[in-house]
Amino acid sequence: MSKPTRPRTVAERKQRVEGILKALDKRYPKAVCALRHNGAWQLLVATILSAQCTDERVNKVTPALFEKYPEMADFASVSQEELARDIYSTGFFNNKAKSIIGAAKKLLDEFGGEIPRAIESLLTVPGVARKTANVVLGTAFGIASGVVVDTHVARISRRLDLTNETDAVKIERDLMKTVPQAGWVQFSHQMIHFGREICEARKPKCGICPVSGLCYAKDRTAP
């Protein structure tokens, strides 16, 4: 089976993207955020913890964490040293503890304990960059403020030639131009599931890939 060729015209590129999105929709019609949480605040904490850490590990830590600190105010009042011990296994625990405590204090002091739904406001909260903001707004509130770009999304977007960038912010800009806004939230969830299940970094499972017929990556293997 010959490798698909790069589309030459705008119409061909658009058709290819539409094909990729349809294939992901068919494979992952109900893809959701892998971080277990109850409400926007817990999701924000879990997303901060997920930096340089697997979702699986975070999901093992958060049940006991939220049982010990059930309210935002509990996080605001704990010492950084104690919280760091509680989240030790997620890595970078001192910085994460500082961010979570700072986020709790900021939200309580300036936002009445509510998660702001405007990305500009949410980005002022300690520990919140665009990825975290997009996760919280998209998953908790259904607000398509942007495209979540984690390691899977970044890697696969380059492999599928949806971007040539390596910087997460620039990758997001390219994806926001390519993927219809109504699909931004779902697209990120689908790409993450796709990266874990099929399009692995070292050994992509091209033989069962739903977008194999639209992929011309250099490391693509024939079905």
> Is 167 annotated as catalytic?
no
Catalytic residue among 25, 86, 98, 150: 150
Give the tokens for residue 95: 């910085």
> Is 150 annotated as catalytic?
yes
CB-based contacts of 75-82 (< 8 A; 24+ apart in sequence): 75/45, 75/100, 75/101, 75/103, 75/104, 76/101, 76/104, 76/105, 76/108
Please return the burial class of 178, using the count of CB atoms within 10 Å of its CB with bins 0-12, 13-18 and 19+.
middle
Taking the C-alpha atoms of residue 27 and residue 30, their distance in angstroms, rounded to an integer, is: 9
Catalytic residue among 131, 205, 218, 219: 131
Annotated active-site positions, please?
Answer: 131, 150
